[in-house]
Structure 1
């Protein structure tokens, strides 16, 4: 029987844990809100310089390449030096990167297309180098959450992603609109570049600075056992992860999933622009819809399912749904015209797209939470940051290779990235089924 003092301490610990969880999720939300602001305009921004869509993929790859190099390093630093300083560094770096990104038009005027693209690539590479905030946030959550509650808590990170994509694209579309640009030109001094591309970038920078201030003022360092400093760099960390029988298949799963899903991430906006004829605002509304689905799936559905099913089963179910969605996505207009009626003024083609995106969002949510929980279970308590950093690095490697390949084949055949992604996802499903059976055999 617990004493009143023990009960009070337990209650205080629970309150502190909830406060820490809410704070770190709030910081991630603010940072992702800024990222969501940029997503609908980025392909149009690149196209404004008169270059091939392949540069959209190369720009995404540059971000992922530096994230691949630095995410494991930041994960290790967060284990050794603390989660809070790494989170603060990452969001401050994002603020600098978004500022440079917004100056692309100025570099174009001064140095031409090469200068503009150089600025965009420099900005995205800096953002990638500082992009360890999600892995560190996941490690932070495992620090303050009991093991039996981690799948549900990690699902909140996915819900936070969704909220960023609910409000971010809509906010970005509003800021990029002609009336907003006209008002900004009247308000800001002449030396501030104002355009439908610079304003969302500067807004994203401001939001990242807000996240930095919030971390400095309100985010405590979690109480945990810190790992002593260890030698070895990126290669050593990956070698250690691949030598671990429990972590090795998960590192490979993150690599292949990221390679497959990059077909959707990179080709989706050009797809709806070319096939559906949508502009930045309409693309932003679609991303807002995906964000709403993400919040519902990961904040409600995944949390409920995580209490009933093992992490491995969540991952298998999510990968299977993602496979179906990737197969159907490029053919949504044909499927809608053949199988669906128009409803409330929405065309059958649009309805089919919305249904496929719902399946895709559900699959992505289940897969992300399931695999993140599997990583947490496979890693020791003092190496959670390193484990998440290595798996995020593997995902970044997949996104480094995937976007140039996917945009290259998109230029040739628009449906090819989605079907290649489906093929790779089928490999992931098979691998996760094997892991599920192995887990059941040792249970």
Structure 2
């Protein structure tokens, strides 16, 4: 049957498994997205300055760098399902700690809850490596020619979580919602604009854990021969980089993640400083970008891959991002762009550039993930994805820091131009892989 896996993938209903995994990843990222507007202000509430707040943001990616290959290899050895369940349970614990940071900090001897925030953020990052396991699950249940489509569906879930998460955070932290919660929750539950989004993320993670436990099966797969890495994660990443099969892809993934995280971290600074946009205006722009990425990854990437192949799509996405990232800071002052009612010309110009930028990002992310899967051994999919996602996590740790330094020390436009230029070596790496490989042409 067309909708069942075959051979080593077992008899799992593929469509049902992918749909379930989509929902699991969406809810997981929804919980993560809820806290995006909360984290910087939460840190400031405890007396942190902007630099410390940035370190709190980067802590997640740093520990995700450590956790992704560990979870990936554990899923190779012990199964995808138990590792996904473990990571979801970890998210419940982490987001609950986030919500009680103010109360728990003094009990642990800390001056305030900032220490608890860092601990919770680190634990959430370690458990956030489950995306690698989800990608490996897709690799287990799909044939090579359909892998980009399956990974694209997970990418859409990833994007939708970032679209709707901040909106839920806004509702949960509104004055109306806070008044309601103060009236119905016990007195020992802390109610504030920071705690309620945190608890909402924890509840969603708990519901997600129950969903995955009940309906997500363990895929059949070949017994792994991959040995667990005993040394440093950096050593494992170095070995991946030097691998002829996936090394160029890991480097490309690192540079692409570094560049786009630099853009994301400075985007709100740019729109606030140059356009005067507040939270609401930025939410609209970020939602729009997220919707474009989700639509492309979830609906268009499959047919486009069938027609052009993963390699060509990765090249196209890199070329598009090279140009559009460099144009971002200048698009806000294009005099030839008209206003649209209450929307100023600067915002319209930025949206015009953001559309192909989101398209290019979707092409690059999905295609690189699919190429990694196609070039890795069948019994080491989890480890391969874990190392690749680790490269992305490491990039997202240092990308925002470097971009912030450029923004302050050089000029507001410099991090965006540098981010665009990072796609030049990406194009060179992908071009060197050659057009004649089996993964570079449609199946």
Q: How does 1:130-279 map to 2 (within 5 A)?
A: 130-228=127-225, 230-233=227-230, 234-235=233-234, 237-279=236-278
Q: Does 1:388 align with 2:379?
A: no
> Secondary structure of 1:115's match?
coil
**Deviations for 1:172-204, whole angstroms, at most 9, x for unmatched residues?**
111122221222222222211111121111111
2: CA distance, partners of 1:325 / 1:98: 35
Q: Is the 8 A contact 1:318 1:367 kept in 2?
A: yes
Q: Is the 8 A contact 2:4 2:14 kept in 1?
A: no
CA separation of 1:159 and 1:237: change in aligned 2, threshold 3 A? same
1:323 is matched with 322
2: CA distance, partners of 1:223 / 1:441: 24
Q: What is the deviation of 1:400?
A: 1.9
> Secondary structure of 1:193's match?
coil
Q: What is the deviation of 1:60?
A: 2.7
> Secondary structure of 1:345's match?
coil
Q: Is the 8 A contact 2:332 2:350 kept in 1?
A: yes
Q: Does 1:126 align with 2:123?
A: yes
Q: Is the 8 A contact 2:253 2:388 kept in 1?
A: yes
Q: Is the 8 A contact 1:40 1:284 kept in 2?
A: no
Q: Is the 8 A contact 1:87 1:132 kept in 2?
A: no
In structure 1, which of residues 341, 344, 349 is the aligned counterpart of residue 341 of structure 2? 344
Q: What is the deviation of 1:304?
A: 2.1
2: CA distance, partners of 1:355 / 1:100: 40
1:3 is matched with none
CA separation of 1:75 and 1:370: change in aligned 2, threshold 3 A? same
CA separation of 1:350 and 1:236: change in aligned 2, threshold 3 A? closer
**Deviations for 1:156-176, whole angstroms, at most 9, x for unmatched residues?**
111112221232221111112
Uncovered stretches (5+) of structure 1, i.e. residues with no partner: 1-5
1: CA distance, partners of 2:3 / 2:432: 45
2: CA distance, partners of 1:116 / 1:384: 39
2:52 is matched with 55
1: CA distance, partners of 2:109 / 2:333: 41
1: CA distance, partners of 2:209 / 2:386: 20
CA separation of 1:79 and 1:347: change in aligned 2, threshold 3 A? same
Q: Which moved more, 1:9-18 or 1:171-180?
A: 9-18
Q: What is the deviation of 1:208?
A: 1.1
In structure 2, which of residues 42, 46, 63 is the aligned counterpart of residue 45 of structure 1? 42
1:402 is matched with 399
Q: Is the 8 A contact 1:162 1:290 kept in 2?
A: no
CA separation of 1:441 and 1:77: change in aligned 2, threshold 3 A? closer
Q: What is the deviation of 1:113?
A: 9.6
Uncovered stretches (5+) of structure 2, i.e. residues with no partner: none
Q: What is the deviation of 1:313?
A: 0.8
In structure 2, which of residues 409, 412, 415 is the aligned counterpart of residue 414 of structure 1? 412
> Secondary structure of 2:412's match?
coil
Q: Which moved more, 1:245-254 or 1:341-350?
A: 341-350
1: CA distance, partners of 2:282 / 2:3: 51
Q: What is the deviation of 1:312?
A: 1.0
Is the helix fraction higher in 1 or 2? Answer: 1
CA separation of 1:9 and 1:148: change in aligned 2, threshold 3 A? closer
> Secondary structure of 1:307's match?
helix
2:431 is matched with 433
Q: Does 1:379 align with 2:376?
A: yes
Q: What is the deviation of 1:85?
A: 1.0
Q: What is the deviation of 1:41?
A: 3.1
2:83 is matched with 86
1: CA distance, partners of 2:3 / 2:313: 36
2:287 is matched with 288
Q: Is the 8 A contact 1:341 1:348 kept in 2?
A: yes
2: CA distance, partners of 1:442 / 1:302: 15
> Secondary structure of 2:425's match?
helix
Task: Give me the TM-score of the superposition, normalised by structure 1.
Answer: 0.90
Q: CA RMSD in A?
A: 2.7
CA separation of 1:436 and 1:31: change in aligned 2, threshold 3 A? same
Q: Is the 8 A contact 1:173 1:281 kept in 2?
A: no
CA separation of 1:158 and 1:45: change in aligned 2, threshold 3 A? same
2:305 is matched with 306
CA separation of 1:110 and 1:425: change in aligned 2, threshold 3 A? farther
CA separation of 1:249 and 1:36: change in aligned 2, threshold 3 A? same
CA separation of 1:310 and 1:330: change in aligned 2, threshold 3 A? same
Task: Give me the TM-score of the superposition, normalised by structure 2.
Answer: 0.90
